[in-house]
Amino acid sequence: MEKTTRTPSIDCRLLWSVISMAMLTFLGILSETSLNIAYSSLMRQYGIEASVVQWLTTGYLLVLAIVIPSSTYLVRRFSTVRLFQCAVTIFTLGTILGACAPTFPVLLCARLIMAIGTGISLPLMTNVVLEKAEFHQRGMLMGVVSLVISAGPAIGPVYGGIIMQYLTWHYIFIIMIPFLLIAIVIGTVSLSDISRKAEASISMPSMLLTALGLGSIMIACSFAYEWQADWRFWLLLAFGVLMMVIFVLLQFRLERPLVNVRVFTHAGFSTGIGTIMISQACVLGINFMLPLLLINGLHHNSMMAALILLPGAAIGSIVSPKVGSALRFHFAPNLMVTGFFGMIVAAVLMTVLQKQSLIILVIYVFFMTGASLVATPGQTHSLNQLPASMNADGSAVLNTLQQLSGAVGTAVASILMTAFQQRATRSGANFATSCASAFSNSMPLFIVLMAVAILLAMMLRRFGKSKVS
């Protein structure tokens, strides 16, 4: 029997559907990361402190954490086109409101509205890929999803820096509006319905528990650096974890749960999610520490720090679809093991050779390339372990835990950097030296976590469903 390796072309309508949703998701992430550059300007304009302006990010992540778990209900209850149009409309309204915000509360309200739109579009994009793409085409399209998620943080600081250099922060929002109009036109024309028309209901106690649980964890993680991990951090974190435990137990008792947590009974999915969470925590944790090293330790301004990190983040994003396409011929866990090895080597080199900006630039390219070898195969392989009836639940769990693990990774990095920097300062080191010392002493924990993730990726070899012959 003749064997062919020719890859059937992806349906153009499906590709344009993914692109339209990717544009909305990308703009959501771009607005989050670019607005960080404008914080000092916003503090001066509105006369507020750093702890207040930080709520633009904390509130955004909080709403995302609440909306994403409800995506299982939304996908089953509403048509895909209407859901996408609703997401773009909500996001656009928030964008217009943010562009002309006269006061900080109005700007914060605009950010929360935008988060609702992103929270709908992010899991919807994954659901469309799972429902409409041929099994062997999922990897390439999940690579597009990964490209969007990783390109936003890469371009955001540079985009924000350029806007703040030549215009005002209002244009961060204004420039996005034409792209939103393009996205809604493309999506309206190309999207087809993926709703299974199953009975859907929403559990208000579940919504309350997930809001309290994920909200408390997100707030604790967001303010870990400012609170220096004191009793407020641990109390809020413990309360959030308790609420999530109660949430999970409640889902088992409900006939139609908000999120079907039985997805975790599929060992391949659970193991894959573990590797993805570790990868996300390590990538965002190290991405939090590197700008601090470049700005405080090596005396670069924020714009230059963003430019040093841009090639690595950009190349990592570009590689993602290529890695997804490679899943047709390569076993996902093998790519993940290779990726984690690359990340570990790069992390070790960054720890040792941290005094030269050019060296950091080159090493970071290898680090983010390794991260791409983990992200796309990990997401595709994990979701492939679930039956089609659990696609929406798997997507909601994946996207929620990615947000959560990223917040936790950033919190851990901020706690370590603060503790080690204070210790170095007490020993007589100056500010720049103490920051460099804190970076070196914080990195081993992330290296150990990535080593653990290699073991989990090796365990994934027992689940071979995502290899297409």
C-alpha dihedral over 10, 13, 15, 18, to 10 degrees?
-140
Residue 438 half-sphere exposure, CB side, CA atoms within 13 Å?
33
Same domain for 425 and 285: yes
Smallest CA-to-CA distance from 349 within 416, 286, 304, 307 is with: 286
Is residue 126 scored above 80 in pLDDT? Answer: no
Question: What range defines the domain where residue 77 resides?
Answer: 11-193
Say if CB 363 and CB 114 are below 8 A apart: no
Question: 469 vs 189, which has greater pLDDT?
Answer: 189
CA angle 22, 27, 30 (to 5 degrees): 120
**65-74, 160-169, 339-348, 396-405: which is most confident:** 339-348
Same structural domain for residues 216 and 364? no
Does one domain contain both 164 and 133? yes
Question: CA 121, CA 148: separation in Å to the nearest integer?
Answer: 12
Q: How far apart are CA 318 and CA 332, in angstroms?
A: 18
Cα 24 to Cα 414: distance, rounded to the nearest angstrom: 30
- How confident is the model at residue 388, as a pLDDT? 74
Domains of the chain: total? 3
Asked if residue 25 lies in contact with residue 146, where contact means CB atoms within 8 angstroms, the answer is no
Angle between helices 357-383 and 302-326 (to 10 degrees): 40
**Is residue 71 domain-shared with residue 93, that is, in the same domain?**
yes
Residue 2, domain member (yes or no): no
Query: Could you say which of 193, 211, 245 is where a domain stops?
Result: 193
Give the residue-averaged pLDDT of 231-240.
87
- Band the pLDDT of 317: cuts 50, 70, 90: confident
| Listed range (45-54, 95-104, 450-459) with the worst mean pLDDT | 45-54
Let me know if residue 167 belongs to a domain.
Answer: yes
Terminal C-alpha separation, the chain: 13
Distances (CA, A) of 151 to 118, 313, 324: 15, 7, 16
CA dist 435 and 422 (Å) reads 9
Q: What span, in angstroms and rounded, lies between the C-alpha atoms of 122 and 71? A: 9
Average pLDDT value for residue range 114-130: 83
Q: What confidence score (pLDDT) does residue 138 get?
A: 67
CATH number for the domain that contains residue 452: 1.20.1250.20
Tokens coding 243: 């609420």
DSSP state for residue 175 in the 8-state scheme: T
In a domain, 198, yes or no: no
Mean of all residue pLDDT scores within the chain: 81
Could you please report the per-residue DSSP string of 313-352?
Answer: HHHHHHHHHHHHHHTTTS-HHHHHHHHHHHHHHHHHHHHH
265/410 same-domain check = yes
Residues 242 and 338 reside in one and the same domain: no
Does one domain contain both 286 and 430? Answer: yes
pLDDT at 195: 59
Residues 279, 402 within the same domain: yes
3 alpha carbon, distance to own chain's centre: 39
User: What radius of gyration, in Å, describes the C-alpha atoms of the chain?
Assistant: 21
Burial call 29-55: b when 16+ CB within 10 Å, e when fewer: bbbbbbbbbbbeebeeeeeeeeeebbb
Is residue 16 situated within a structural domain?
Answer: yes
Min mean pLDDT across 160-169, 191-200, 414-423 is at: 191-200
Structure-block tokens of residue 245: 């435990």
Give yes or no for a contact between 407 and 428, defined as CB atoms under 8 angstroms apart.
no
Indicate if 59 and 97 belong to the same structural domain.
yes
Domain-ending residue, one of 138, 165, 193: 193
> What are the pLDDT digits (tens) for 390-438?
777 787 788 788 878 877 887 788 778 878 888 888 888 888 888 888 8
- In this structure, are 242 and 170 located in the same domain? no
**pLDDT, tens digit, 9 for 90 and up, residues 257-277:** 777 778 888 888 888 888 988
> Which amino acid is residue 239, in one-letter code?
F
Q: Does residue 272 share a domain with residue 188? A: no
Contact of 94 with 176, CB cutoff 8 Å: no
pLDDT exceeds 80 at position 187: yes
Predicted pLDDT of residue 110: 92
Helix, strand, coil shares of the chain, percent, nearest 5, are 85, 0, 15
Whether this model's pTM surpasses 0.85: no
314: confidence class by pLDDT, cuts 50, 70, 90:
confident
Question: What phi and psi values does residue 19 have, to the nearest 5 degrees?
Answer: -65, -40
Q: Looking at residue 128, what is its pLDDT?
A: 80
Average pLDDT over residues 450-468: 76
Residue 1: inside a domain, yes or no?
Answer: no
Asked if the structure places residue 5 within a domain, the reply is: no
Q: Average pLDDT for residues 340-346, to the nearest whole number? A: 92
- Tokens 């820096």 correspond to 161
**Do 276 and 221 share a structural domain?**
no
Under DSSP, the state recorded for 258 is S
